[in-house]
Amino acid sequence: MADVLKKVPVREQDPKVRATNFDEVCLGYNKDEAVEEAQRCLGCKKAKCMEGCPVQIHIPDFIGAVKEGDFAKAYSVISESSALPAICGRVCPQESQCEGRCIRGIKGEAVSIGKLERFVADWAREQGIKPAAPAEKNGKKVAVIGSGPAGLTCAGDLAKLGYDVTIFEALHKAGGVLVYGIPEFRLPKDGVVLPEVENVKSLGVKIETDVIIGKSVTIDELMENEGFDAVFIGSGAGLPKFMGIPGETACGVFSANEFLTRNNLMKAFDEKYDTPIFHGKKVAVVGGGNVAMDAARTALRLGAEVHIIYRRSEEELPARKEEVHHAKEEGIIFDLLTNPVEILEDENDWVKGIRCVRMELGEPDASGRRRPVEVEGSEFDIDVDTVIMSLGTSPNPLISSTTKGLEINKRKCIVAAEDTGATSKAGVFAGGDAVTGAATVILAMGAGKEAAKGIHEYLSQK
């Protein structure tokens, strides 16, 4: 009999093997494992876990159905609250959300809610279960800008309500960060993301790629000339930050976005594709979030020795626990309490090293985390030929600067009401990273849902 205090282990690719390929790391539960894990759920009346889920999936109900082997029912319970369960089950930071609140977690390990959600969603996809057919068209047109989780969810919900929805996407492929940022080994593109996009299309949503709102056409033009009654902005937070230290424009210094886009969207790891990527021998990734882990593990798979350079300690790493754990298993070296001060260049302006200082943790700062302070005289160099900056991103000003009357805040985020997504401009709604700054898939999805409701209410009154 398995230990009820522990999760049913999930099968994964062996770290040594997976460090050399881009296939998915986690293989997920099979039916028996899923049912066994579901048995661990106590089916709490006041389910704490639900409080931790930003879209309040009815967790005890869906897990209860899994327990009984009724996966179709489990899927329909999840679908009431989430449009992208195969994705969220894979990438949600469960340990700080649903699983973080699970009663089971007090004495032992929390129920594997994410893995169960993923199992149910994968099962439904394999069965060919599609979202409910759209209602009759109501003749009203809505434009959705951006095809990330916020845009896809908003578009899907509006189509179900009968709206004529067109998504405009700047890149050549739909999916937002799900296709250009998060790597294949965490979130398979053809296997998982594409079917989700196809589901949205099957509801009647049109997707026009290669259109940059603010450049190809503006929001005002969409509303005035193309007959859109409302607009949802889900343009994300794609603008990468750099540190501003000497040497940062040297050859061999990349933003994580560039490195990941070359590899994920442009598939540079595959010889058949024309886009090049630099195969470093020794790579430093600066930062400690999910993006840093993804860049590091990608560089590792391209054959490099990889160092993560992060100025606080392991406890403060903002990445999901699972990512850090996987990265370590694969052989990523963590240089913690370390901060870069300069990138060293050779005579051809190529990176030859990174100069760092050691840090120690002082008093807590405004974010509640202990502030790292420099240890005097602790400068040292690490030899590397590549540096990947992964310091976070902010919203791109392209839309806000070309739309009349759209209010933004100091951080360049679009100001929008939390419950409806309404912005300062009539008929224009927004949500996801464009409003909150870089956050999570599930929050973006939740915002897309709220905005769909907000738009429906707005257009119903009009």
Ligand X SMILES: Cc1cc2nc3c(=O)[nH]c(=O)nc-3n(C[C@H](O)[C@H](O)[C@H](O)COP(=O)(O)OP(=O)(O)OC[C@H]3O[C@@H](n4cnc5c(N)ncnc54)[C@H](O)[C@@H]3O)c2cc1C
Shortest Å, Cβ 311 to ligand SF4: 28
Site string for ligand X, 153-172 (x = CB under 6 A): ---------------xxxx-
Q: How far apart are CA 70 and CA 64, in angstroms?
A: 9
Cα-based angle 188, 148, 285 (whole degrees, multiple of 5): 65
Residue 414 contact among ligand X, ligand SF4, another protein, none, beta carbon within 5 to 8 Å by kind: none
* Secondary structure E strands in 281-416: 282-286, 305-309, 333-335, 338-345, 351-364, 370-374, 380-382, 386-389, 393-394
Q: Does 211 bind another protein (CB under 8 A)?
A: yes
Which residues 6+ apart lie within 8 Å of 46 measured at CB?
none
Which residues 6+ apart lie within 8 Å of 272 measured at CB?
none
Shortest Å, Cβ 443 to ligand SF4: 10
Would you say 150 or 296 has its CB closer to ligand SF4?
Answer: 150
Would you say 43 or 227 has its CB closer to ligand SF4?
Answer: 43
Site string for ligand X, 396-435 (x = CB under 6 A): x-xx--------------------------------xxx-
Count of positions on this chain that bind another protein (CB under 8 A): 39
3-state secondary structure 113-145: HHHHHHHHHHHHHHHCCCCCCCCCCCCCEEEEE
Q: Does 261 bind ligand SF4 (CB under 6 A)?
A: no
Q: How far apart are CA 198 and CA 252, in angstroms?
A: 37
Shortest Å, Cβ 278 to another protein: 7
Would you say 65 or 158 has its CB closer to ligand X?
Answer: 158
Q: How far apart are CA 289 and CA 241, in angstroms?
A: 14
Q: Does 42 bind ligand SF4 (CB under 6 A)?
A: yes
Interface pick for ligand SF4 out of 26, 65, 92, 121 (rule CB under 6 A):
92
The DSSP annotation for 96-114 comes to GTHHHH-THHHHSPPP-HH
Count of positions on this chain that bind ligand SF4 (CB under 6 A): 28
Shortest Å, Cβ 450 to ligand X: 13
Q: Does 111 bind ligand SF4 (CB under 6 A)?
A: yes
Instruction: Answer yes or no: are the C-beta atoms of 455 and 230 closer than 8 Å.
Output: yes
For 149-168, b/e burial (b = at least 16 CB within 10 A) is bbbbbbbbbbbbbbbbbbbb
Q: Which of residues 392-451 bind ligand SF4 (CB under 6 A)?
A: 442
Q: Does 65 bind ligand SF4 (CB under 6 A)?
A: no
Binding site for ligand SF4 (CB under 6 A): 41-44, 47-49, 53, 55, 57, 59-60, 63, 82, 88-89, 92, 94, 97-98, 102-104, 111, 113-114, 117, 442
Using CB under 8 A, list all residues that contact another protein: 170-172, 180, 209-212, 215-217, 238-240, 242, 248-249, 251-252, 254-255, 257-258, 261-262, 266-267, 271-278, 348-349, 396, 398
